[in-house]
Every structure is written in C-alpha cells, then in structure tokens.
Structure 1
Amino acid sequence: MLNHIGYRGFISAPLLLVSFVLFLLPSVYSLNDGILSTNRKLLATTVTNSSSNKYAVIFDAGSSESRVHVFCFDQNLDLVHVGKDIEFFQKLLHITILLLYHYYMLQQFGRALLEPGLSAYPTNPKEAANSLLPLLENAKQVVPQDTRQNTPVKLGATAGLRQLGADASEKILQAVRDLLKANSSFKTNDDWVTILDGSQEGSYQWVTMNYLLKNLGKKYSNTVGIVDLGGGSVQMAYAISEATAAKAPKTTKDGDIYVKELSLMGTKYYIYVHSYLNYGLLAARAKILNITKDANNPCILAGYDGVYTYGGVDYKASALSSGSHMKRCRKQAIEALKADGSTCTYKNCTFGGIWNGGGGDGQDHLFVGSFYYDRAEEAGFINASEPVATVRPRDFKLAAKRACQTKLQDAASAYPDADAPNLPYICMDLLYQYTLLVDGFGLKPWKPITLAIRIKYQDALVEAAWPLGSAIEAVSVAN
C-alpha cells in the first residue's frame, strides 16, 4: 500500500490516524524522551493535604510495557483519591498503529517507542532503567516533596524479564535499583526491585481482594480466598490458621514456599499460596491436545481442523468426525491436570502432587477471576455488564455440555460475545475450568463461588491486581 502513496501521503496519513486515535482516548498523552505514554492528569494539588497520608509507588514491569501506580492512604490505610481517581496510573505504550510510521519516526524516537518493556534492552541495562524515567518523574509530581523520603518505591517484573535469563535480568534489575537510588528521592530497598514469582503475585492479589472487601485487620476466618486463572499459570491463595501453618510442608519439590507470613493492618496472616505453572488455560489447551498428539481430539468443536500454537510449539487441533465428546474430553482434562492423586505424598493434595493448604475457614468464600470470568461471559451465563457474579462450578459443566454439542459453523451465532479464535476450544476450556475447580481444587460442584473482574471501592471500580497488594504491604511494613 505504501508504494502507491507519495512521501507526503506517507507522512500525513499516519499523522492523521494517530491524531484521531489520541483524540478519542480518554487519557492525557505525551511524548517523553521519545516514548509515548499515557497518564491521568497530574493533579497533585488536589490530593488531600494531610501530613498523615502515606504514599506508595509501584512499578509493574510487564513484558510489553511498563506501568507505574501511585496510591495514597490515610492514617487508617483507606485509599485517598489522587485527583479524580482512586490512584494515579501511567504506562508506556506499545502502540502497533505507529508501525506504519516507524521508518520516519525511528530516528527520532528510537527502539523504546516500539518495545517499551524492560526486556526490550537485553544488552543495555542502563537504557532499560532509563526507560522508566518518564514514569518516575511523573510519579514524583504526584507525591508531595516532604513525604517522598518516606514513600516506598517498588518494582515487580514478570515473565518478559525472566525469559532473558538470570544474568541479563539481574543486570537490568541492578540498573533499576541504581536509578531509583540516584533519581527518585523515594525510599528504596534492593529487595523491592525483583522478578515476581507466581506465589508473590498470588499473595499480593489476595491482599488486594481482601483490602477492597474491607476484610484486612479482621481474623483470618473473615477473609476470602482467590483463584486466578491466567494463560500460563493458575494461582490459589487463602488464609490458614497459625496451627495449620505450623504443620505445613516447608517447600514443594521445586523449592517453592507454601506459606507466606504477612502483617497487615495490625494483624498477622498466614497465607497458603501456590502458583501452578503450565496449568493456566492456554497452557492447558496444549496439554490436552498433546494427549492425542497427531490424532483428532474429542474436545474440539465439530468442523474445525487446525493447529494450536503455544510456547512456540504447534499442536494438532482437529475435531473428531462426530464432533466433540464431553465424557472423553473431561477424561483428558483430568489426565492433563494429573488429578488422580497418584503423585500425592501429603495427606491432602490438589493436583500434580501439591499440598492443598489444609482447607478451612479462609477458603470458604472464593473469589475467582481472569479467564474464569471471561469464559463465563463468553458462554453467556453471567451478565457482562456486572463486574461481580455468583456462580457454581457446575455452571461451567452445564455450559460445557451445550458447547460440546455445538458445531463450529454455528458457534459464532451461539456465542456472539466470544472471540473468534476461542470458538473451536470453548468445549475444552469450559470443561477444563470445571475440572480444575472440582477435581483439582476439590470444590463441591454446587459450592457458590464469586466471579470478579473489578471490585467496588468508594466511588470507583478497582481491578483486583497485585500492585495494590504490594503497596498495602509496603505501607503496612512502614507503619
């Protein structure tokens, strides 16, 4: 297409397109050192000016973008608005729409425009750290100068940095530590700049959820547990009694710690948390398809003949001539989950030989998120306009029964809210989710659970994500 437009057309068309997109977006955009960023307006002067307010600055260093969150808490550790919002949030964007324009812009704006995540700089740790400067400077504008030295700043990196390898990732983390010490004026600690493992992320999400529900500071039996189903892994976290924690296995066979101790709002909690790597929804598809290898699979909708790619590996994803078969698909889900108990060396296990935490009051009320909410919405048994819904595991099985009887040619009309790439796998996904809850985590099929994507807090809907939990821990420790 570019061959048919002149130089002026090449320059003006992307400019008009970008201008139109930025005009439509609700946030305020700016170019900082060649990095396109988005932020809510810097309204530090509108924050309640109280000497008792405490701030926390949390960097979320994802694989494709970096983000900063600034939270403000009053003396009771309730969130205080930053401007009009419950938090200040800014991110460095990975905007593919600008690829049309990159030949013209690259000399000015450099590589960071296209790949703003820390992992975009595997051989240049200092440049990686410097990419955070625009975020850091704007965070400093939000936090009053006289409180900065007591304001913790933390960075949690995720999968993108981990994939670089230990040497390259540690050099980048050290460069970030050096940057924060030299330029932030915030309270820093080397241990606060790290790659998050799944258990850390799970425990922080537990903190976030219980904070938003106003459970922190109460006894552990009044808290809720969480199950977070991502693409590559699934996390479970819930509070257990001190007696159960004392008898818990110290580590898994891979050296992960089962129980984390957290002091929050004057109360000590023992959190059972485990991240099941390679048991997220997208990883599970690969496991289930690998069972049949080059044969057709009973979990695929009738009429589909394709390939599923995960982790750089291709898997045959083709339906049986008779279509998907619920009973046979569920058997494969159990096999993929290793939920037959054969590898359990403890009194009670979930799946794959992992201790289940002992159960108890902290697990009685479960909030379940991410892909569980998404698939329930796509399958049509929750209201997409409501961020919270009460369901039962059997709802996923009932939805799977309908899905497994659907042919691919009818799937788009049967599931108008589902993304097209998910349609061939909707029988598989729903059955796996049911199997994970019932056979994996041992829930009764009729047990009420809460699906949640956001939680109402004051006048806002807040995403129950790990940065808020990390901020609460940091501020609680500071107290």
Structure 2
Amino acid sequence: MLKRNRQQPYNESLSDKIHRYRGVVLVISIPLLLVSFVLFLMPSTRSPNDAVLPTNRKFTPNYVLQTDRSSNSYAVIFDAGSSGSRVHVFCFDQNLDLLHIGKELELFEQLQPGLSAYANDPKAAADSLLPLLVKAEKVVPKDVRQNTPVKVGATAGLRQLGVDASERILQAVKDFLKVKSSLKSNDDWVTVLDGTQEGAYQWVTINYLLKRLGKKYSDTVGVVDLGGGSVQMAYAISEADAAKAPRISNGEDTYVKEMFLMGTKYYLYVHSYLQYGLLAARAEILEVTKDSDNPCILAGYNGVYKYGGTEYKASSPPSGSNMNKCREEALKALKVNESTCTHMKCTFGGVWNGGGGDGQKNLFVASFFFDRAAEAGFVDPSKPVAIVRPADFQEAAKRACETTLENARSTYPNVKKPDDNLPYLCLDLVYQYTLLVDGFDLDPWQEITLVKKIEYQNALVEAAWPLGSAIEAVSAAA
C-alpha cells in the first residue's frame, strides 16, 4: 500500500486530490469558517475619530471630521461692543484644544450698530442680536445646544450709557435669550464686562493661540487692546513686582489678577482706561477745543461728531489739519502732564504701569490699532499680523494730516465707512501714536506686533477677548 501511494500518477486531477484529502480539508475549514462568522458578528472596534470620508471629498491632514460630538464642548460668546455686536462660536475637545467648525476654528459674525445705539429702546437692542443668534445656533449640534453656554459681554459702549440705561438693555437681552435661544442661558452670563476682565480675557486669548500658556511668565506676550470706548493693557509680571502693586483707593479692581492656567500660576497686571478707546478719544479731543475749530479734522470738513448721546463740534481750521497741533490736543486729552504720579512709574492719568519687565517686552497690539494701520496703508489688510513701530503711526499721521477730505477719498480707499471715519483719520493716527509713546511710554522705534487674527492649527482665529471667556465657560462646565 505504501509503495503504491508513493507512485501516484503525475497527472492526477485536482478533484481527485480533494476527494482523496477531503477529511483533512474538512478538519481545517470548519474552524476557519466558525472564526470568520464570530468576527463578522462582533461590533466594530474602529476609533470614533476614524471618520469615514465621502469618496468625493479631498482629505486634508489638518482637518479631522469628528463623529463623537458628545465628547466636545461648544461655547457661544456675544461681544457687545461700542461699534457693533459680534458673535463667536468655539468648539473644544476634552483637552481644551480648539476643533474645527467647518473649515475654520470658530464661527465669527458681526453687525452694526452696537447695543448702545438703542439707548432708548432696550427691546430693539436685544432683537438686534437675532441674526447673530440664528447663525450661531446653526453650527451647534441640536443634541448639545441645551448644554452649550451662551454669554453676552457688553464692553465700553454700554458702560458709557450709565447704570440705568445699560441695566434696561441687559434685562431685555436676558429676556430675549430665554425666549429665542435653545442654548443654555443664565442671567449672570449677560453682563457689562469690567474693563480689567476684558483685558484679562484678551491676554488669555492671544497667549492661548500662541501656545504660550503653561510657560513661564517671561515667555508670554503683553497685550494692548484698543476698543471703541476703552483701551486695555495686560501683561504677566513677576511675583516680586506683583507684591509691589499699589493699592487703589477709589473702589476699582486691583492692578494684579492671579490666574492659574495650564498648570502655571500667573500674576497678571491689567488695567482698563475708560473713555480712552478710539471712538471715545475723538470726543475727548474735540472737547478740548469745545466750540472752536480743531486742528485734528481734515480740511474741508465741517460737521458734528456724536458719541455717548452727546454732540461735539468737528470742523477743520481754514488752514486744514496739522499733526503737531493735533498732538498738543491729544496730549491734553490724555492728561499726560496734568496728573501727579504717586507710584514709582505711571502711564497717563497717574495709573501704575505694572513695573514693566519681561512679560511686556513682546507686545501684541490689537483691534483699532490694526484697523487704522490697514486703512492708512502701512499694513497689508490681507495679512492678519504685522510687525510695526509706533513711529509708523507718526509717519502715517503726518501724511494724513496734510491731506484734504476731498483728496483723502482717493488716497485712502480702504477706509471703512468713509463718511463717518475719513474726517477723523488724522486725529485717529495722531492719538494712536500719542497713546503708545506718551501714554504707555513705548520707544517710538520699538517693534510691536499688530494683530487681527492668529494662526492656530492651520486656521485663523480672531485675536479677541471672547475666546478667553469661552475657555473660562467651558472649563467651569467641565
């Protein structure tokens, strides 16, 4: 038998072989079939983040489709500023890293005018937020809206209206959110932001986007934020300098806030100067000359400037605007030489400057500083970050002050709302230079970073205080 088996014909067919070894085939195949069947019935172990991409969609490595939304947190922040209302929507993962909303890292929408324009009609003020609310809710998944905080932070514009008028508007906004919004609202989240709180949020925002939080204070950047009604300065200081902070006797917040961020304790110097935002400063400078012509107004303009419910005469002298004379008026408005400094070193108005130091050596300057620089033509408006010097504002002011209103329309085509802003271009640029050099004591040739947006994870994010507020809101809810 063994001999005959070793001498099988060479051309034996495949079917004959299977028939001959059918016992072996059955022994091997049955377990394999059983294992395959069990694996087929088991649930998929694919990671929830391994999203299935449509075949017609081009995949880009920096954009991850999130399928497990329940692990993400959203926050909706309204910035009710003096010049307009804006809404920001952010989405964070469990590590407080920003996630994409569509192709961007936030939803950002804005409209004009701001809440303060409705001083006598609180309901109209609240209703003005509806278009922004609708757009915000569309990007928040329905199943998490009831747990998504919506906060409204009013800034200097509402502070200028006074307590009664601002409280009526805030109450109308609270009622509006309860009726119109499907998001999680709380009366305590609709407030007039304290200026120092606004400045602190801005500092957190910029340092978060630059990935400086968690590092030592000397590696963080300082921030100057020029809004419409107020200007804030914030930067981290040493513990030794924080201990030297003077006491404020007029009931304002202290100069230094202690913040614990990403495992690091910071002593943050922050101060807000109410009535020294760009739009408010126009009123202050025009008030200096009262009913006379003002050397900061472009030649050919004779009108009235309205701010905070008050009208100010705004007309140019026959000789036109003049940079040096305008600077004299700006210095008077800042009261640089009128206040007695009772501390070691002050900015304008007798305010302690924080002592300076490493946390201020790298300064990021935001909001109207960027806008006017772009409109004046010495910053590319298509690029969200630019390195400049205070002296650049002075050079731009010199050119603007030598221009008539008629010529300015063609010389400065990038100025937004030219009928409202062109007459004050000389004034705005002179004030910004004066604020930086005489107010904050910067060297005219010191490099500063003008910032509109900051790149974070290959997307651009607004360098504004709402992100800092959103980080706080999401952290508190965790």
User: Which bin holds the TM-score, normalised by the shorter protein?
Assistant: 0.7 to 0.9
Deviations 1:443-463 (A, max 9, x none): 000000011111112232111
Larger Rg, first or second structure (1 or 2): 2
Aligned length: 412
The answer as to whether partners of 1:161 and 1:169 remain within 8 angstroms in 2 is no
Which piece of structure 1 moves more, 114-123 or 365-374? 114-123
Letter in 2 for 1:452: V
Over 3 Å counting, the alpha-carbon distance change for 1:410 and 1:356 in structure 2 is: same
SS state of the match for residue 352, structure 1?
Answer: helix
Cross-structure match for 2:325? 328
Quote the residue 2:95 is aligned against.
76
Alignment partner for residue 165 of structure 1, among 155, 163, 166?
A: 163
Q: 1:312-369, CA deviations, whole angstroms, 9 ceiling, x for partnerless residues?
A: 3332222223322322221221111111263322221111121111111111111112
Does 2:213 match 1:216? yes
Q: 1:27-426 residue pairs with structure 2 within 5 A? A: 47-49=66-68, 53-60=72-79, 69-88=88-107, 122=122, 135=133, 139=137, 142=140, 145=143, 153-158=150-155, 163=161, 165-166=163-164, 169=167, 173=171, 176=174, 191-251=188-248, 253-340=250-337, 342-418=339-415, 419-426=418-425
Cα distance change of structure 1 residues 164 and 400 upon mapping to structure 2, 3 Å threshold = closer
Q: Any gaps of 5 or more consecutive residues in structure 2?
A: 1-63
1:256 match: secondary structure = coil
Name the counterpart of 2:14: none
**Alignment correspondent of 1:466:** 465
Distance 1:168 1:152 in 2: 22
8 Å contact kept, 1:234–1:279: yes
Shift of 1:261: 2.1
2:463 maps to a residue whose letter is A
Displacement of 1:230? 1.8
CA contact (8 A) 1:337 1:351 kept: yes
Give the distance between the partners of 2:234 and 2:152, measured in 1 at CA: 22
Corresponding residue for residue 440 of structure 2: 441
How far apart, CA to CA, are the structure 2 residues paired with 1:184 and 1:193?
A: 16
Does 459-468 or 315-324 show the bigger shift? 315-324
1:64–1:164: structure 2 CA closer, same or farther, 3 Å change rule? farther
User: 2:298 touches 2:321 (CA, 8 Å); kept in 1?
Assistant: yes
Determine the structure 1 residue equivalent to 2:46: none
- 8 Å contact from structure 2 (residues 104, 460) kept in 1: no
Alpha-carbon RMSD across the aligned residues, in angstroms, is 3.9
Contact 2:105 2:460 in 1 (8 A): no
Q: How far apart, CA to CA, are the structure 1 residues paired with 2:221 and 2:442?
A: 15
% identical aligned pairs:
63
CA distance change for structure 1 residues 117 and 236 in 2, over 3 Å: closer, same or farther? Answer: same
When normalised by structure 2's length, the TM-score is 0.73
Could you tell me which amino acid in structure 1 is paired with residue 420 of structure 2? P
1:40 is aligned to none
Residue type of the alignment partner of 1:453 = K
TM value normalised by structure 1: 0.73
Q: Which amino acid aligns with 1:74?
A: D
Contact 1:225 1:365 in 2 (8 A): yes
Distance in 1 between the 2:445 and 2:105 partners?
36
Q: How far apart are the structure 1 equivalents of 2:426 and 2:406?
A: 14
Judge conservation of contact 1:265–1:476 (CA < 8 Å) in 2. no
Equivalent residue number for residue 455 of structure 1: 454
The 3-state SS of whatever aligns with 1:272 is strand
Q: Structure 1 residue 62: deviation in Å?
A: 5.9
Q: Is the 8 A contact 1:120 1:128 kept in 2?
A: no
